[in-house]
Amino acid sequence: MEMNPIESLRSTSLNTLTEEEEMLRSMVRDFASEQLLPRVEAMDKNAEYDPDILKQLFELGIMGVEIPEKWGGGGGSFFMSALAIEEVSAVDPAVGVLVDVHNTLIVKALLRWGSDELKQRYLPQLATEKIGAYSLSEPSAGSDAFGLKCKAVPDGDDYVLSGQKIFVTNAKEAEIFLVFATVNPANGYKGITAFILESGQPGFTVGKRESKLGIRASSTCEIFFDGCRVPKAQVVGEVGMGYKVAIETLNEGRIGIGAQMLGLARRSLELGIEYAKTREQFKRPIADFQAMQFKIADLATDLEAARLMVYNAARLNEEGRPFVKEAAMAKLMASRVAEKISSEVVEIYGGYGFTTEYPVEKLFRDAKIGKIYEGTSFMQLQTIAKTLLGQDGSGALW
């Protein structure tokens, strides 16, 4: 008999981490506070990563959490990837999204869909030295993710790619790209195919880097294909099944973005509480005022709700249970909570919160993207609604 989801949730406490998970979280938290934190301000100002940080991400195994040990990875779980993303994002969400895209989109796509040859060739590189990027969006294909114009025309043992991609996260740093193109436009979304490409190939160009409101150290670029030849062996999955690769990886990636927003929200609230306890007005800390106490209590409650939703979605995923609705809910909630908490904490700081002297304004800027990328909040609501309305008609939510 299948266990009731409520009973399952109670029997496996989301607050309890295994020894291995706790060790990973502690290691990533120490790295973030000791190595990453001193560099955050400069990376945001310069709009680029410190190369030493990227090197350390690989050395510590953060870029290969789920990659099996035989390919140089940590052999960990999806939940552990989410923990790593959360802890990095609690210090710098711009580094958090690099870790997220690399682990939950590129690595997961290869683990599930890559041929043995592609796994053996690319997973060791992704675990130890080379950053991955995910290329789906186009000028005419945003929320309509399958309205792709980028074409892949078969030619002998190759496909020849032509077209443009936009908003490619990690594009400047990446050396391995997962690219979606249409092999047969007449077949609609069933003509979409996923390919693995490497930077530097003839006909493959990384274009301008966008100047962004937040997560400024993270590179977001256009890429162009002009007669770029890709061997047919570089197809990820099957020809015409790229839509399935995209859907499944994005469903998991949304949990990663939920974890990113969770880390951001947690750090914002920690800073707000710390400031409220030390900032004095009317000869007493502002934390002594009931209005401030209630504000903090309200934000902490929102944070806990978001945390439980993100953790629950991650646990369901690693247990092989249905998680699409929960992933959409987790991203929706975590992005809302991150925006709310970071905004409220700016107000807790008052005028100081509006200056770049304190870190809360950066977290506020970084939070906005959570409602936009890897599926806007509207798309999450649509996914949730379709899942609920497509059930057996009983009206049961659990």
Q: Take residue 119 and report the two structure tokens written for it.
A: 């796994």
| Rounded Cα gap, residues 398 and 4, in angstroms | 8
Longest CA span, the chain: 79
Contacts of residue 204, Cβ cutoff 8 Å, sequence gap at least 6? 161, 197, 223, 224, 225, 228
- Backbone phi, then psi, for 77, in 5-degree steps? -110, 170
What is the residue-wise DSSP string for 86-112? HHHHTT-HHHHHHHHIIIIIIIHHHHH
Amino acid of residue 36: L
Q: What distances in angstroms separate CA 272 from CA 285, 300, 307, one per listed residue? A: 13, 11, 18
Is 20 annotated as catalytic? no
| Rounded Cα gap, residues 381 and 220, in angstroms | 26
Instruction: Give just the sign of the alpha carbon dihedral 67, 167, 170, 378.
Output: negative
Are 102 and 80 in contact by the 8 Å Cβ rule? The answer is no
Task: Specify burial of residue 156 (Cβ count, 10 A radius: 0-12, 13-18, 19+).
Answer: exposed
| Rounded Cα gap, residues 276 and 258, in angstroms | 27
CA torsion angle 389 390 391 394 (round to 10): 40
| Rounded Cα gap, residues 332 and 310, in angstroms | 10
Helix pair angle (290-318, 324-349), 10° resolution: 150
- At 392 the three-state DSSP class reads coil
Phi-psi region of 108 (alpha: psi -120 to 50; beta: other; left: phi over 0): alpha
**Active-site pick, 66, 326, 361, 374:** 374
Q: Take residue 70 and report the two structure tokens written for it.
A: 């035989």
Are 377 and 371 in contact by the 8 Å Cβ rule? The answer is yes
Give the catalytic positions in this structure.
Answer: 374
